[in-house]
Structure 1
Amino acid sequence: MRAMVYRGPYRVRVDEKPDPVIEHPNDAIVRVELAAICGSDLHLYHGLLPDTRVGHTFGHEFIGRVEQVGSSVERLQVGDRVMVPFNIFCGSCWFCVRGLISNCHNVNANATAAGGIYGYSHTAGGYDGGQAERVRVPFADVGPTVIPEWLHDEDALMLTDAFSTGYFGAQLGDIADGDTVAVFGAGPVGLAAARSAWLMGAGRVIVIDHLEYRLAKARELAFAETVNFAEHDDVVVLMKRLTDHRGADVAIDAVGAEADGNLLQHVTGAKLKLQGGSPIALNWAIDSVRKGGTVSVMGAYGPIFSAVKFGDAVNKGLTIRTNQAPVKRQWPRLFEHIRAGYLSPRDMITHRIPLDQIPEAYHLFSAKLDGCIKPVIVPPTD
């Protein structure tokens, strides 16, 4: 099959790889029909996450058609069109049965916290991802869901991570009616969090970023007020001014680990802006929220070498809520919102690029060219 393969920082290509095979009776093989590049894929692309191995295939957002199933698979059949959550989970361990499917204990021998993730280095289990013609899907009876006939394919794709994660970020904020919600980062997850905040009762939503085309999307898609932090000396002081000097009720960190820059910048914290790496965004969230407020963190974080203002969080009496999004748990409610016309996740998609051009797609997305917010990868058809 044709697949994206990693060759080192800033170096990806499309190459021939062996087709995936059934390795366990619970597996399925899915032929990918649509995939996407996520902002967290850029952490891998930039070489910021450990144990990202040469030859690995990225991609944790994909939908497709079932081509094979293992002998124990009961809920899927060959020919089913499925949407696959980025979380790989067993559905039966202590954590899964309590709803913590993103913290599954049986799918990642290399970490004590995170569960398995498609295409996200060997720190997340080493599973190849969906930026390919085919992908092996473990625990096929508990992860994938048959795509409802009424659901647009691109909406289904956005629910495999980006939009579900943003919705979860708003959930973590425990938003009360009338709350002021500050969202740091206007990428796809931030846009989804900002739009979702309204559905949870927000009275005001403010999105902070430094790229005007993303802020324009936040105004269009999320109906949010926007702040370009590059135009202000101190974004925290500005946020206090905008909120009667109290601070926002809820702050959502939709940035995560460094998505632009290099490892040296990440280690030294030399680039002190959102594009220069966290915990800058996280510290802004802590400083911008009011005393007794809530900070929601659902971005992709690796090692952080700079200091997080935890003492400030304690002294302000903040609630900090975090996790990788348990994507499939969000789908029933998101299905309702989409079917009712309240949400259209595919509206965040800006580019549709063939699999064979994926090196160019990564460069376009990483360098923030051509107004790229969310690129979708279209595998070749036979």
Structure 2
Amino acid sequence: MDNSCDEVAWRFGAVNPSLEAASAVSIRALVHGLYNCVDRSDPRPLAPLGHGDPSPFACFRAAAAAEEAVAAAATSGKYNSYPTAAGLTEACSAVASYLSRYLPYELSTGDIVLTSGCNHAIEVMMAVLATPGANVLLPRPGYPLYEARAALSGLEFRHYDLLPEKGWEVDIEGVEALADDNTVAIVIVNPNNPCGSVYSYEHLTKIAETARKLGIMVISDEIYEHCAFGSKPFVPMGVFGEIAPVLTLGGISKRWMVPGWRLGWIAMTDPKGVFRKTKIFEAIIIYRGISVDPATIVQGAIPQIIAKTDDTFFRNAMNMMREAAEICYQKLKGIECITCPHKPEGSMFVMVKLDMSYFEGIDDDINFCTKLAKEESVVICPGSGLGMKNWLRITFAVDPSLLEDGLERLKSFCLRHAHRKQKQVPL
């Protein structure tokens, strides 16, 4: 056997420092690591309360009309080729018409770029904005893919706070203090992942006015659009596009319960045409041209997915989500060491705070979630992965019976690990 290759001084193997920085804020890696901690011999069903994918559960099954549209597109023979950089014209047109229903102005086909899911839209925007010295403002807690993609692109990011005592609203004063001459954008997520909040018309107005004052764009992540089941209706940020230019990120994964179909979009909800004047939209098209495409079959199905999915499906889905959110909120109220500052009214998540003084032998939220996965086969996302140490993000987008069971196991775990003084029965 020739071992001469062992003498070669190989020049590869160094890790890209930007990739290391991005991986440090990967929520997917953190949650998937917890799944590896689960005891596979546990006869109880795994309670997946760590990520927002309701699609495995029959109660959240995709609309039949949507599934039929994809099947028809696949068998038509029309969608086996490469799409254009922005996406199929008929698909972009359908998305433009869909979004225009909820805006005070009409979007055109040319205002839409299709992406391979909303995560891809995030990638595109962080890459496009990564000019030398630029920074973007990101929410804390927030969806960490923004940080990961910004880090990978070499774009500076700064965190502004969401205020739990005010229903997780944006700290407007904090945003103004954080921004400088190099700030180019503020990212908001509404309805909010991870907090489960929905922003009011009045609050969104303040965000738009602040962006205008600072001379920055708003990137509005609306992947949970219309996933609102509390007292406040969903209002698209694009409604305020006359005040400040808004790039709306969205997709079909959450409202249609099909995250695996990977169809998202970037929409210029910018009636004054600021993005075209500043060539931002041109840069988005250029980046899309050297990036991945969403599957042409799903693009081809989009017009029928939008046209044929009736309101009954959406109402039923939101009724189910409302029921699950109520179960989650009520169960959490019964766990002494957990505080829920705001009842969830949108998205599929709620943020809760751990009282670490309650526990014995548990150091922090990551340690808590690791032991919970091992002992109870319940996976919950640690708040540290979202910039909130000793908090938890819990999803309620699971079958209601499994949700109840999982939260009961969470309660049992907390009681079992309570500090001795917590277990003492008062005389």
TM range (shorter): 0.3 to 0.5
Q: Which has the higher relative contact order, 1 or 2, with Cα contacts under 8 A spaced 6 or more apart?
A: 2
- Greater strand content: 1
Report the structure number with the largest CA radius of gyration.
2
- Greater helix content: 2
TM-score, normalisation: structure 2: 0.32
